[in-house]
Amino acid sequence: MAFACIFVPDFPVQAAVRLEPNLRGKPVVIYEGSPPLTRVFGTNSAAKELGVEVGMTKLQAEACGELEWRWRSVSEEATAQAALFDCAWTISPRIEQGSKHGEESLPDTVVLDIAGCEKLFGSPEKIADDLKRVAANVGFKTQVAIAGNPEAAICAARGFPGITVIPEGREAEILGNLSLSLLSLPVEFLETLRRWGVHTCSEFAALPEIAVIERLGQKGKQWHRLARGNDLRSLIPRDFPSKFEECMDLDFPVDLLESLLFVLNRLLEQLCLRLKMHVLATSELTITLTLEPSDSRGKGRDLLQHIRTLRLPVPVKEAKFLLKLLQLDLQAHPPVAPVTKIHIVAVPTRSRTRQLGLFLPLSPEPEALEITLARIENTVGEGRVGAPALLDSHRPSAFQQNRFVLREAANESAAAGTQPLHAALRIFRPPLPAKVELNDKWPAAIICEGARKTVLAHAGPFRAKGGWWSESPWARDDWDVLIPSLRPKYESLFAASPGKQKETALYRIYLDLRSNCWFVEGIYD
Q: Which of residues 231-290 bind other proteins (CB under 8 A)?
A: 254-258, 260
Contact at 8 Å (CB) between 271 and 319?
yes
The residue (of 181 and 397) whose beta carbon lies closer to other proteins is 397
Under the criterion CB under 8 A, does residue 359 sit at the interface with other proteins?
yes
Under the criterion CB under 8 A, does residue 210 sit at the interface with other proteins?
no
Under the criterion CB under 8 A, does residue 423 sit at the interface with other proteins?
yes
Under the criterion CB under 8 A, does residue 356 sit at the interface with other proteins?
no
5-13, 348-356, 502-510, 512-520 -> range binding other proteins (CB under 8 A): 502-510
The residue (of 210 and 423) whose beta carbon lies closer to other proteins is 423
Rounded Cα distance, 141 and 197, in Å: 35
Under the criterion CB under 8 A, does residue 293 sit at the interface with other proteins?
no
Min CB(301)–other proteins separation in Å: 18
Under the criterion CB under 8 A, does residue 304 sit at the interface with other proteins?
no
User: Residue 318 CB: number of other CB atoms within 10 A?
Assistant: 13
Under the criterion CB under 8 A, does residue 364 sit at the interface with other proteins?
yes
# of chain residues touching other proteins (CB under 8 A): 97
The residue (of 191 and 255) whose beta carbon lies closer to other proteins is 255
Under the criterion CB under 8 A, does residue 178 sit at the interface with other proteins?
no
Min CB(88)–other proteins separation in Å: 37
Name the β-bridge partners of 465: 475
Query: How does DSSP assign 332-384, residue by residue?
Result: HS--SS-EEEEEEEEEEEEPP-----SSPPP---HHHHHHHHHHHHHHH-TTS
Altogether, the residues listed in the chain come to a count of 525
16-24, 97-105, 153-161, 413-421 -> range binding other proteins (CB under 8 A): 413-421
Q: Indicate which single residue of 296, 414, 470, 499 sits in contact with other proteins (rule: CB under 8 A).
A: 414
Applying the rule CB under 8 A, the residues between 481 and 500 that interact with other proteins are 482, 485-497, 500
First to last CA, the chain: 79
Residue 11 sits at the vertex; the CA angle it makes with 9 and 13, to the nearest 5 degrees, is 110
Q: Indicate which single residue of 59, 187, 210, 358 sits in contact with other proteins (rule: CB under 8 A).
A: 358
The residue (of 356 and 424) whose beta carbon lies closer to other proteins is 424
Applying the rule CB under 8 A, the residues between 503 and 522 that interact with other proteins are 503-506, 522
Query: How does DSSP assign 63-75, residue by residue?
Result: TTS--EEEE--HH
Rounded Cα distance, 317 and 456, in Å: 62
Cβ-Cβ contacts under 8 Å for 388 (sequence gap 6 or more): 399, 400, 401, 402
Min CB(365)–other proteins separation in Å: 6
User: Residue 471 CB: number of other CB atoms within 10 A?
Assistant: 5
The residue (of 78 and 261) whose beta carbon lies closer to other proteins is 261
Rounded Cα distance, 396 and 17, in Å: 62
The residue (of 207 and 482) whose beta carbon lies closer to other proteins is 482
Give the DSSP H/E element, type plus range, for residue 219.
helix 209-228
Q: Are strands 163-165 and 143-147 parallel, antiparallel or unpaired?
A: parallel
Residue 230 sits at the vertex; the CA angle it makes with 226 and 236, to the nearest 5 degrees, is 85
The residue (of 356 and 416) whose beta carbon lies closer to other proteins is 416
The residue (of 240 and 262) whose beta carbon lies closer to other proteins is 262
Cβ-Cβ contacts under 8 Å for 79 (sequence gap 6 or more): 15, 245, 246, 247
Min CB(271)–other proteins separation in Å: 21
Give CA torsion, residues 166, 169, 174, 178, to 10 deg.
110
**Dihedral of alpha carbons 110, 113, 119, 123, sign:** positive
Q: Indicate which single residue of 416, 439, 470, 516 sits in contact with other proteins (rule: CB under 8 A).
A: 416
Applying the rule CB under 8 A, the residues between 132 and 161 that interact with other proteins are none
Under the criterion CB under 8 A, does residue 433 sit at the interface with other proteins?
no
